[in-house]
C-alpha cells in the first residue's frame, strides 16, 4: 500500500510539472492543491520542485512565516523530505518578491506551502504573476479549519485559482477525509479557540464529515 501511495504521488507530481511547464509556453495558471491534514501536500510539493530541477529549471519555494513548526524558512514533509524556502508575511507583496527573484535568475514555477495562510491580496498578486509574468503558481494547503470554516487564503484561492485539485487522504473509518479535528493533549476534541494554531499529528486528525460531526457533538 505504501509503495502504491508513493508511486501515485510521484505520478501526480510529474503531471503537475508537465502541465505547468506546458502552461508556461501557452497560458500560465494559478493552481490550488487542497486537502485535509496529513494528505502529503508538502511531499507532493517537494517532489514537483525536484522534478523541475532535474530538468534544469529553477523554482521558487515560499512558506508563510507564521508556520515555524519545522523551522523558519523550511518546507518539510512527514516522510522526512526537507527543503529551504523563502518565508513571507501576510503584508508582503508576493508579486514584487517573485519579480525580484525572477530578475536575478528566471523562475520556471512558484510553489507555495501552507497556502491557507495567504491573504486575499496575496492571492490576487499570485494570479497576476501567472497572468502577466507567465509563471505557473502552485499553491498547497488545507481548505478548512477545526470548526469546518474556510481559511481566508483558501477561500480566495477557491475563487481565484484556474485549477482546483483535491489531494486525498482517509479517515480512520475508511471514508475520504475532508475535515480537520483539533484535539487536546488527551486526544479529546477541541470545539472553541483561535482559527490558527500550528500543529501536526499531535494536534490534528483528518476525518470524514460523518466522524467529524460525531466527534464535535
Catalytic positions are 114
Instruction: Of 64, 9, 15, 73, give the one whose Cα is nearest residue 41.
Output: 9
Q: Taking the C-alpha atoms of 58, 62, 68 and 73 in order, what is their torsion angle to the nearest 10 degrees?
A: 40
Handedness of CA 197, 199, 205, 206 (dihedral sign): positive
Instruction: Of 41, 48, 51, give the one whose Cα is nearest residue 76.
Output: 41
Q: Are 209 and 182 in contact (CB under 8 A)?
A: no
Residue 178 in grid coordinates: 475532508
Residues in the chain: 217
Amino acid at each position: 500500500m505504501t509503495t502504491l501511495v508513493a508511486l501515485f504521488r510521484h505520478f501526480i507530481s510529474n503531471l503537475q510539472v508537465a502541465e505547468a511547464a506546458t502552461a508556461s509556453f501557452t497560458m500560465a495558471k494559478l493552481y490550488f492543491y487542497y486537502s485535509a491534514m496529513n494528505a502529503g501536500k508538502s511531499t507532493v510539493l517537494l517532489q514537483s520542485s525536484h522534478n523541475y530541477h532535474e530538468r534544469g529549471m529553477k523554482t521558487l519555494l515560499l512558506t508563510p512565516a507564521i508556520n515555524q513548526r519545522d523551522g523558519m524558512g523550511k518546507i518539510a514533509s512527514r516522510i522526512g523530505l526537507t527543503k529551504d524556502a523563502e518565508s513571507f508575511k501576510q503584508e508582503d507583496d508576493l508579486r514584487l518578491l517573485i519579480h525580484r527573484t525572477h530578475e536575478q535568475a528566471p523562475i520556471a514555477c512558484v510553489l507555495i506551502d501552507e497556502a491557507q495562510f495567504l491573504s486575499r491580496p496575496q492571492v490576487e498578486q499570485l494570479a497576476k504573476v501567472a497572468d502577466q509574468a507567465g509563471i505557473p503558481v502552485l499553491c498547497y494547503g488545507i481548505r478548512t479549519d477545526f470548526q469546518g470554516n474556510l481559511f481566508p487564503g483558501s477561500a480566495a484561492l477557491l475563487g481565484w485559482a484556474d485549477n482546483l485539485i483535491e489531494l486525498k487522504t482517509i479517515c480512520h473509518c475508511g471514508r475520504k477525509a475532508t475535515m480537520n479535528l483539533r484535539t487536546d493533549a488527551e486526544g479529546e476534541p477541541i470545539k472553541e479557540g483561535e482559527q490558527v494554531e500550528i500543529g501536526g499529528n499531535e494536534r490534528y486528525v483528518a476525518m470524514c464529515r460523518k466522524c467529524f460531526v460525531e466527534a464535535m457533538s
